[in-house]
Structure 1
């Protein structure tokens, strides 16, 4: 039996080696080297460039927009997931399908659709024109970029929270109600603590793509807002500096891993507290 399990793990190990370990080693190699006379020599210059003010500003803006969009998705997504979880099975399956359905469409097309809605000749400005207002400049600002992030990543917040909420044992809720807990206490002491794993998963799934996105900021920001994802894309496609682009990628990977570690630690502490409250 153990031998069969070992054989079954080989394809997974081979896949991980070819598509995770090897690419990561290549990126690490480029990040710690510099090309001189067609040869790669060890250098820390790529990481030293990261601390320059112009790049720190890009990192700060990327983190700020990612945090804002993540918080906005949480504030909007949790009530949505909670309301859906309280419906009967047929209705909630339909509503969750409606959330998943836009994700079947290409990410680029979903983002492009906002140009037709918010553009000077878009739907909103056309409607405002009928009442003598506009055209308004609704594109190419931080608010539009955040709107694009929320629109694209909101399902990643709703679905994990919804999945946890529907698995909460109804006996725990009934017991709390029998002990005199009103709706506010029930949510604060029972439902929310038990839903923390879903909240943490949602935060992780929204923050990671938000902090590294480049399509949303390119289209809805009009190229005026350089984020980390745009900076990495620029280094690989336009400038051709793979070494510096790799260093930025490793730096962002470290930030994301630290964020995930902190969230996982908080999730573990929350699970203990939730159990104590119950």
Structure 2
């Protein structure tokens, strides 16, 4: 009984913070989603499903988010895994810390400034001008899904690299030596030893990137130029511009439900593939 009381006392501050900062605001959003828009904008108490019935009007934002967010997560993983593998398994220990710092360096600069840099790189005076000078004709890169995907991968790549690196760095190298002694070629050793043991880092990195991408606003707004809308952009428009709080709350609740279902399916799949526990995958 005393141990149980001590556990509850230790969990109370975090639980209270969680309830006040997350659960209570989410309850307000759910209540707002069943209301109506006031004539001048805002919220009028009601109980109607009209806001949810109107969700197809934001179908493009949902489609873009549900397409580009998973694709960006996979692309970031495909780029981050070889980099993390090199840092953890191949890089000279003398240079490893410096290389890790270089991976983190982009986070020292505001994402706003980095996005402006990509606007210049992908704009008419950047890569398109170089491509035209090489004789490949005129090409448009800015304000396209390609520009948004480039900004997403660049912006969130460190969040994918670090968990995978930690998982690989903790790997017992004696297991690889044992696999080699038993005659396993490098590729088979990687597929049967390295990759399964690094799945917790892969799961963590994918979760971090995917959850953040589902609510992304700035990168699509700047590199998409209003032509590639995410749900985050739709929420900003509904709450701050059209002031349709009820409909915005319905969109937000739908986004949360989609994320809960997607993350639950992902965690189930990771457990089936590599026996990754929830507490390990979410470390």
Query: Structure 1-normalised TM-score?
Result: 0.88
Equivalent residue, structure 2, for 1:245: 248
Q: Pairwise mapping of residues 99-138 of structure 1 onto structure 2 (< 5 A)?
A: 99-122=103-126, 124=127, 136-138=139-141
3-state SS of the aligned residue for 1:226? coil
Equivalent residue, structure 2, for 1:199: 202
Retained in 1: the 8 A contact 2:132–2:139?
Answer: no
Equivalent residue, structure 1, for 2:12: 10
3-state SS of the aligned residue for 1:139? coil
Retained in 1: the 8 A contact 2:38–2:44?
Answer: yes
Equivalent residue, structure 2, for 1:81: 84
Equivalent residue, structure 2, for 1:71: 74
Between the aligned partners of 1:56 and 1:39, the Cα distance in structure 2 is 25
Cα RMSD for the two superposed structures: 2.3
The number of residues matched between the two structures is: 270
Change (3 A) 1:269 1:125: closer
Aligned match of 2:146 in 143, 146, 156? 143
By how many angstroms is 1:5 displaced?
A: 4.6
- Is 1:62 paired with 2:65? yes
Equivalent residue, structure 2, for 1:33: 35
By how many angstroms is 1:191 displaced?
A: 0.6
**Greater displacement, 2-11 / 169-178:** 2-11
3-state SS of the aligned residue for 1:42? coil
Between the aligned partners of 2:129 and 2:274, the Cα distance in structure 1 is 50
Retained in 1: the 8 A contact 2:35–2:44?
Answer: no
Retained in 2: the 8 A contact 1:120–1:135?
Answer: no
Aligned match of 2:263 in 260, 263, 266? 260
Retained in 1: the 8 A contact 2:239–2:245?
Answer: yes
By how many angstroms is 1:12 displaced?
A: 1.5
Change (3 A) 1:9 1:99: same
Retained in 2: the 8 A contact 1:212–1:229?
Answer: yes
Query: Structure 2-normalised TM-score?
Result: 0.87
1:213-256 per-position Cα deviation (integer Å, ceiling 9, x unaligned): 12111111111222211111100110101111111111111111
Gaps of 5+ in 1: 274-278
Retained in 1: the 8 A contact 2:37–2:244?
Answer: no
Gaps of 5+ in 2: 277-283
Between the aligned partners of 2:44 and 2:188, the Cα distance in structure 1 is 66
Change (3 A) 1:101 1:24: same
Aligned match of 1:176 in 150, 167, 179? 179
3-state SS of the aligned residue for 2:227? coil
Equivalent residue, structure 2, for 1:276: none
Equivalent residue, structure 1, for 2:232: 229
1:123-165 per-position Cα deviation (integer Å, ceiling 9, x unaligned): x356567768877532111111111111111112111111111
Equivalent residue, structure 1, for 2:54: 49
- Is 1:90 paired with 2:89? no
1:78-100 per-position Cα deviation (integer Å, ceiling 9, x unaligned): 11111111123332222121111
**Greater displacement, 172-181 / 32-41:** 32-41
